[in-house]
């Protein structure tokens, strides 16, 4: 049996209490989903203004840890680069230039994946026509468990 390479994405789900970020992924143990917290996605800058504290998540330490990881990525990678731009004004070329500054690492791919999820959400809500991240070339990655 082949090993399952973990993969996943983020999405915003509308609930009676408002929009929530959901992380969905698949690994060797099957399919998983976690609610990460409230979602404010009108513009990238609004994410900073509407951030919930990690203490607002009460389901368990892994959820708080995941939320903290996404919050860190947003605050330290995405908002400094794109937070002042309207989402529809961000181009593939800007994303490629920004992404090229990262060394080839899991962090570079994680940050690009999260940015792609944000654009995917905007596209599904008809805020943009095209997700520019879909056309950005990914850095090839090898993981420790990959065969040579």
pLDDT of residue 135 exceeding 70: yes
Question: What is the pLDDT of the chain when averaged over all its residues?
Answer: 77
Distance CA 81, CA 28 (A): 34
| 1-5, 18-22, 28-32, 41-45: least confident range | 41-45
pLDDT, tens digit, for every residue of 24-60?
A: 888 888 888 888 878 765 544 444 444 443 333 344 4
Residue 144: pLDDT band (50, 70, 90) is low
**What pLDDT is stored for residue 120 in this prediction?**
92
Distance CA 32, CA 119 (A): 22
pLDDT of residue 72 exceeding 70: yes
**Other C-beta atoms within 10 Å of 88: how many?**
12
Question: Please, are residues 25 and 36 in contact by the beta-carbon 8 Å criterion?
Answer: no
Question: Please, are residues 65 and 57 in contact by the beta-carbon 8 Å criterion?
Answer: no
**What pLDDT is stored for residue 58 in this prediction?**
43
pLDDT, tens digit, for every residue of 81-110?
A: 988 888 889 999 999 999 988 888 888 888
Distance CA 48, CA 95 (A): 20
pTM (2 decimals)? 0.54
**What pLDDT is stored for residue 30 in this prediction?**
85
């Amino acid at each position: 049996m082949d090993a399952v390479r973990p993969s996943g994405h983020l999405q915003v789900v509308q609930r009676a209490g408002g929009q929530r970020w959901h992380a969905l992924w698949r690994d060797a143990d099957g399919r998983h989903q976690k609610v990460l917290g409230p979602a404010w996605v009108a513009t990238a800058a609004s994410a900073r203004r509407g951030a919930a504290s990690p203490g607002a998540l009460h389901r368990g330490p892994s959820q708080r840890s995941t939320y903290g990881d996404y919050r860190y990525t947003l605050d330290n990678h995405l908002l400094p680069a794109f937070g002042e731009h309207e989402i529809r004004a961000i181009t593939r070329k800007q994303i490629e230039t920004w992404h090229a500054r990262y060394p080839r690492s899991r962090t570079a791919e994680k940050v690009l994946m999260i940015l792609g999820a944000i654009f995917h959400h905007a596209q599904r809500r008809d805020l943009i026509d095209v997700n520019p991240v879909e056309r950005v070339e990914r850095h090839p990655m090898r993981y420790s468990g990959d065969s040579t």
